[in-house]
């Protein structure tokens, strides 16, 4: 087992870590082929260390035909040549640790690629064979079996079943190139335990578990009974999601994680109907964290936001887990755009950053949100590649996956040297890392400063939250710990408000005016102050 020396005994680092999501394809391209890669990530580790995050979550870089950009894995124990080599992965983990950054990698256990040797063997084998028993093959309905076995729909649109030449059907909750594994099969358990060990031995600090709510299906695969069943990160109650049986798998994995030194963690990507159901993934003998998509989905509205925050805290506390907070990822419209786009969208996104980083628990930052990047809504048709596109009602996820602008005057702004796989808008010149370095009022500086304060202030991170009474449309709360108190106010309303704020400002997302013991807080603005 590879030992690394980051953590002495029990820091419980994951309870308040800020974890930065690297979407490898779009982060930094060292090879010059227009696609981001592991050497690119490695070269930018100083940037991430300076930003002040605690860990990276790196999206899949395993061997893949890229039907779903790496979420269709053909070899779980090797790196796709597009992204580098296994040595690059080793080097990246070692360098990240040397920078004080932990590394979480993705594991994709709900489905493999259709090019995975197991699925190829299943196709070559007969119905009823052990090869087919690793996946969900069934006979169809109707006299000649020409109807799918049930009415389940794929997340990407269309039926969740595809027929093979001998007449059987196989299940794929996502693209047809992503056949679902059958987790009732002990062989599948053994294989994934081995895959997890492979990466833990290589030194990773944990896993983000893709579709952690999907591996177990309701017995008998019952019909849902209606169409338009499922959406990305949705909350519907469905026979193929959030079944009680998935928790057995997470218990098994928790025991495996705990058998390693260094506090290795598991993070569930689980779409659960309610915060209560979500919290079940983080019971003490299960995973350490679960993404909080209820928070991500909340509108920019103080009372709705407060309700989600309260429910998230209450349900996480009930299982002694940290709450987590996430505003954007590679599957959803970037929050600058979700919150209205343009100048107002950016103002709200900056305020949301101070809200998020002041809440108790752990926070996720999706690459580029520290630059205030918006969704790119007008990508030329010929570049669009997301498998979700054209299969569902959604416009697809390419717009949140546009590569990062690093420096310079012309696209691809230092992302790489050649034409990038998705084009960067010329207007991103002003949003590049280099441009924002030069501007002390930039979103990049706001994030750096917020992360610095969060690291140094004893009341931020894990710990209690006390709501304060503020004007309508405003969230106000205090964090108290270690003899110090930091207060946060976020004005989500349309008008300026005056809030009682004894003490001194620490950081604000926009211009605030002090007037004695009060602060004048403009619309869509957040402020932190030290209560004296």
* Interacting residues toward ligand GLC by CB under 6 A: 68, 71, 108, 174, 210-211, 269, 330-331
Q: Which residues pair with 58 in a beta bridge?
A: 22, 105
Of 155 and 501, the one with the shorter C-beta distance to ligand GLC is 155
Minimum distance, C-beta of residue 163 to ligand GLC, in the bound complex (Å): 21
Of 394 and 462, the one with the shorter C-beta distance to ligand GLC is 394
Give the closest residue to 287 by CA, choosing from 234, 339, 249.
249
DSSP 181: B
CA 529-508-481 angle, 5° bins: 30
Instruction: Judge whether 210 counts as a catalytic residue.
Output: yes
Of 268 and 453, the one with the shorter C-beta distance to ligand GLC is 268
Of 21 and 491, the one with the shorter C-beta distance to ligand GLC is 21
Minimum distance, C-beta of residue 156 to ligand GLC, in the bound complex (Å): 8
Minimum distance, C-beta of residue 289 to ligand GLC, in the bound complex (Å): 15
Give the closest residue to 201 by CA, choosing from 111, 272, 105, 286.
105
Of 61 and 71, the one with the shorter C-beta distance to ligand GLC is 71
For ligand GLC, the nearest residue by Cβ is 71
Which ranges of 71-164 would DSSP assign to H, the alpha helix? Answer: 86-98, 117-124
DSSP helix/strand/coil, 520: strand
d(CA 373, CA 529): 27
Of 68 and 205, the one with the shorter C-beta distance to ligand GLC is 68
d(CA 154, CA 527): 43
d(CA 67, CA 128): 28
Report how far apart, in Å, the C-alpha atoms of 364 and of each of 14, 22, 272, 287, 408 are. 11, 11, 18, 16, 28
Of 172 and 454, the one with the shorter C-beta distance to ligand GLC is 172
The number of beta carbons lying within 10 Å of the beta carbon of residue 64 is 25
d(CA 286, CA 266): 8
The active-site residue, picked from 29, 106, 269, 386, is 269
Instruction: Judge whether 191 counts as a catalytic residue.
Output: no
Query: What six digits make up the tokens of 321?
Result: 């887990």
Yes or no: say if 43 and 30 are a contact pair by the CB < 8 Å rule: yes
The active-site residue, picked from 210, 386, 398, 524, is 210
d(CA 469, CA 343): 29
Angle between the N-to-C axes of helices 186-202 and 246-258, in degrees from 0 to 180, rounded to the nearest 10: 30
Minimum distance, C-beta of residue 327 to ligand GLC, in the bound complex (Å): 15
Gyration radius (Cα) of the chain, Å: 23
**Overall size of the chain counted in residues:** 532
d(CA 347, CA 509): 8
Report how far apart, in Å, the C-alpha atoms of 354 and of each of 16, 193, 351, 366, 460 are. 15, 39, 5, 15, 11
Give the closest residue to 370 by CA, choosing from 395, 399, 342, 405.
405
Burial (CB < 10 A; 0-12, 13-18, 19+), residue 139, is exposed
Of 210 and 370, the one with the shorter C-beta distance to ligand GLC is 210
Minimum distance, C-beta of residue 135 to ligand GLC, in the bound complex (Å): 15
Give the closest residue to 83 by CA, choosing from 123, 131, 26.
26
Could you list the active site residues?
Answer: 210, 269
């Amino acid at each position: 087992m590879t030992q690394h020396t980051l953590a002495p005994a029990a820091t419980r680092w994951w309870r308040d870590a800020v974890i930065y999501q690297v979407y490898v394809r779009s982060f930094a391209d060292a090879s010059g082929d227009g696609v981001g890669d592991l050497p690119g990530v490695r070269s930018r580790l100083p940037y991430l260390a300076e930003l002040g995050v605690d860990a990276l979550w790196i999206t899949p870089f395993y061997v893949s035909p890229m039907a779903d950009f790496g979420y269709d894995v053909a070899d779980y124990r090797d790196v796709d040549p597009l992204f580098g080599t296994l040595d690059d992965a080793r080097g990246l983990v070692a360098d990240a640790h040397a920078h004080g950054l932990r590394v979480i990698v993705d594991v994709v256990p709900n489905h493999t690629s259709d090019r995975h040797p197991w699925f190829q063997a299943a196709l070559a084998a007969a119905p009823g064979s052990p090869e087919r028993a690793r996946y969900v093959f069934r006979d169809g309905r109707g006299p000649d079996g020409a109807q799918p076995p049930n009415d389940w729909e794929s997340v990407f649109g269309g039926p969740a079943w595809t027929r093979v030449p001998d007449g059987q059907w196989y299940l794929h909750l996502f693209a047809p190139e992503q056949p679902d594994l059958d987790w009732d099969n002990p062989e599948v358990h053994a294989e994934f335990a081995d895959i997890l060990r492979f990466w833990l031995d290589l030194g990773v600090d944990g896993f983000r578990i893709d579709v952690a709510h999907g591996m177990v299906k309701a017995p008998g695969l019952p019909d849902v009974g209606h169409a338009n069943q499922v959406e990305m990160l949705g909350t519907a109650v469905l026979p193929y999601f959030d079944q009680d049986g998935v928790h057995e798998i997470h218990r098994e994995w928790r025991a495996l994680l705990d058998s390693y030194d260094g506090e290795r963690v598991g993070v569930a990507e689980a779409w659960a109907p309610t915060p209560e159901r979500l919290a079940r993934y983080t019971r003490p003998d299960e995973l350490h964290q679960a993404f909080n998509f209820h928070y991500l989905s909340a509108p920019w509205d103080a009372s709705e936001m407060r309700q989600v925050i309260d429910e998230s805290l209450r349900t996480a506390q009930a299982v002694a887990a940290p709450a987590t907070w996430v505003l954007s990822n590679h599957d959803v419209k970037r929050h600058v755009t979700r919150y209205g786009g343009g100048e107002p969208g950016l103002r709200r996104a900056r305020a949301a950053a101070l809200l998020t980083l002041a809440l108790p628990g752990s926070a996720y930052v999706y690459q580029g949100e520290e630059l205030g990047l918006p969704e790119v809504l007008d990508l030329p048709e010929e570049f669009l590649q997301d498998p979700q596109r054209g299969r569902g009602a959604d416009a697809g996820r390419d717009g949140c996956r546009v590569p990062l602008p690093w420096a310079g005057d012309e696209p691809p702004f230092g992302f790489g040297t050649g034409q990038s796989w998705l084009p960067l808008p010329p207007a991103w010149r002003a949003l590049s890392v280099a441009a924002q370095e030069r501007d002390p009022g930039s979103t990049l500086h706001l994030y750096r400063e917020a992360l610095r304060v969060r690291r140094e202030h004893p009341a931020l991170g894990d710990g209690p939250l006390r709501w304060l009474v503020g004007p309508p449309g405003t969230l106000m709360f205090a964090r108290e710990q270690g003899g110090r108190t930091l207060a946060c106010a976020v004005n989500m309303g349309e008008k300026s408000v005056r809030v009682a704020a004894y003490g001194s400002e620490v950081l604000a997302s926009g211009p605030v005016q002090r007037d004695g013991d009060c602060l004048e807080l403009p619309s869509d603005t957040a402020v932190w102050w030290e209560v004296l």
